[in-house]
Amino acid sequence: MKKRGAEILIEELKHLGVEVMFGIPGGQVIPLFDALYDSGMRFILTRHEQGAAHMADGYARATGKVGVCIATSGPGATNLVTGIATANFDSVPMVAITGQVKTGLIGNDAFQEADTTGITRSISKHNYLVRDVRDLARTVMEAFHIASTGRPGPVVVDLPVDVTTTECEYEGPGKAEMQLPGYRPSVTGNVRQIRLAADAINAAEKPVIYAGGGVIISGASELIGRLAHTAEIPVTTTLLGLGCFPETDPLSLKMLGMHGTPYANHAIQNADLIIAVGARFDDRVTGRLDSFAPHAKIIHIDVDPASISKSIQVDIPVVGDARHILDELLKSVKPAKHAAWLGQIDEWKGKYPLAYNRACTDGVMPQFVVEQIDAATDGKAIITTEVGQNQMWAAQWFRHSHPRHFISSGGLGTMGYGFPAAIGAQVGCPDAVVFDIAGDGSIQMNIQELATASYNKIPVKVAILNNGYLGMVRQWQELFYKKRYSATQLNGNPDFVKVAEAYGVLGIRVDKAEEVRPAIDRAIEHAGPVVLDFVVCPEENVFPMVPVGEAIDRMIGGLA
């Protein structure tokens, strides 16, 4: 049978299990939206393409499925760029479908033309420019396969408008044959390397598991728990690894790094073995490279060979999927006890607990707000964040105990990410309570998506920690630039309650500690989206903190 390219695309998406897409139509994708009209597929119209990309990203992180966003050519496609780069940095499976001018006009500066494949080549896992409708079905299948396997990431499919309107013979969904001879991600791992890793774990006296976002992506959280309890090994996580090991577990060290717990950082610096799983040793974790984990042998398990020994030289590399490798590793790891090591860690926990000054005369303490969200939801809410102080307080003061429940821009640090990501997560997990913990600077970068939440009755809760500053930059200016607050005070902030109400969303302002929990409870009980404007102590800082260029056990502030 013959079908138009737009119809073929929709058929393939349905076959691949796509349930929802996010985006905005435009001239070059009208044929696609025409095919979508009768398809029965859910499409959520966003108010900005960046919001669409972040929604697809949040949906993917919360569900483990491939997120899909759509934009037209030129400015539509370029507005997706930040969201594509965010997903690429954090290994999020996403497919971005972009419109393009007619194939015969490509390169001629046609109206709303942009070199989408050229622009996105360095910020995506892969991209395609489809010039022949006969290649479309295969391309869609390949895009989803590449996006969701190996180290996941975003794939861009750029579609000239004439490809979507041209007919060709079509055998039916799922019938095309992929042509990816050079794409073969390693999954199983080298048997000898796994054996060496097991021997090192069995011989260690002061081991630490350092778990990253790859543990969650691979579905290996339960295996991390088994390894930790079999060999009695404490577990610390990266920002994106939060939730892969319950922070309520006595073996939990919580997050490590620049704003991690002192006891996690001390454990890393004194360990004799680090078992890194699905983590990339980024600079916010390692601090000064030449002083990182000076006494430790390092095992590094990662599906991406390019991540191994990229910044820290490791002793035992194991390339493959974390779930498969941990399953094999556990067959050779012997039960063990490390009483002296855990005793030392308990001493650090007692000496250096996370702490903050609970007195504030100019509003409420931001850490207290996060604690109350945690208490009100029993630690079971899906938490998304913007970027900055709000992000770090959310990481520190919520009890992260469930995988896929903490969603944040880790590698790129994208302000404006959290709110649209929360919408995507809520769409993917309709029965969950979803909170975006935001700053008053970040929330304004995609605040227009209140219209998306309101119209679609998506009940996300936005907790704005409103301190009147671009908080993290202000903190650095205070600590390292003699309080020269250059361009960080947010003069002219709107009344967030009135903004929410203008979009048909419930808005609540809170400026007293005793009002915090009742406001959170009211928000949770409300059937629709809610904006909570928490007026917080304006110059409160995120502590502890490792200054740039220091070893990770050289922390300042927040030490009780």
Please tell me whether residues 287 and 342 are part of one structural domain: yes
Of 293, 320, 351, the one marking the end of a domain is 351
CA distances from 487 to 390, 469, 473, 477 (A): 19, 9, 9, 10
* CATH code of residue 104: 3.40.50.970
pTM of the prediction? 0.97
Residue ending a domain, choose from 311, 328, 351:
351
Whether residues 489 and 453 fall in one domain: yes
Residue 337 included in any domain: yes
Co-location of 472 and 323 in the same domain: no
Same domain, 27 and 165: yes
Does 213 share its domain with 129? no
Q: Is the same domain home to 417 and 531?
A: yes
Residues 422 and 515 in one domain: yes
The CA distance from 365 to 511, in Å, is 10
Biggest alpha carbon–alpha carbon distance for the chain: 72
Is residue 379 situated within a structural domain? yes
Confirm if 228 and 313 have CB atoms less than 8 A apart: no
User: pLDDT of the chain along its 560 residues, tens only?
Assistant: 899 999 999 999 999 999 999 999 999 999 999 999 999 999 999 999 999 999 999 999 999 999 999 999 999 999 999 999 999 999 999 999 999 999 999 999 999 999 999 999 999 999 999 999 999 999 999 999 999 999 999 999 999 999 999 999 999 999 999 999 999 999 999 999 999 999 999 999 999 999 999 999 999 999 999 999 999 999 999 999 999 999 999 999 999 999 999 999 999 999 999 999 999 999 999 999 999 999 999 999 999 999 999 999 999 999 999 999 999 999 999 999 999 999 999 999 999 999 998 888 889 999 999 999 999 999 999 999 999 999 999 999 999 999 999 999 999 999 999 999 999 999 999 999 999 999 999 999 999 999 999 999 999 999 999 999 999 999 999 999 999 999 999 999 999 999 999 999 999 999 999 999 999 999 999 999 999 999 999 999 999 999 999 999 999 987 65
**Does 297 reside within a domain?**
yes
Task: Please tell me whether residues 344 and 225 are part of one structural domain.
Answer: yes
Q: Quote the number of domains for the chain.
A: 3
Q: Name the residue range of residue 124's domain.
A: 2-169
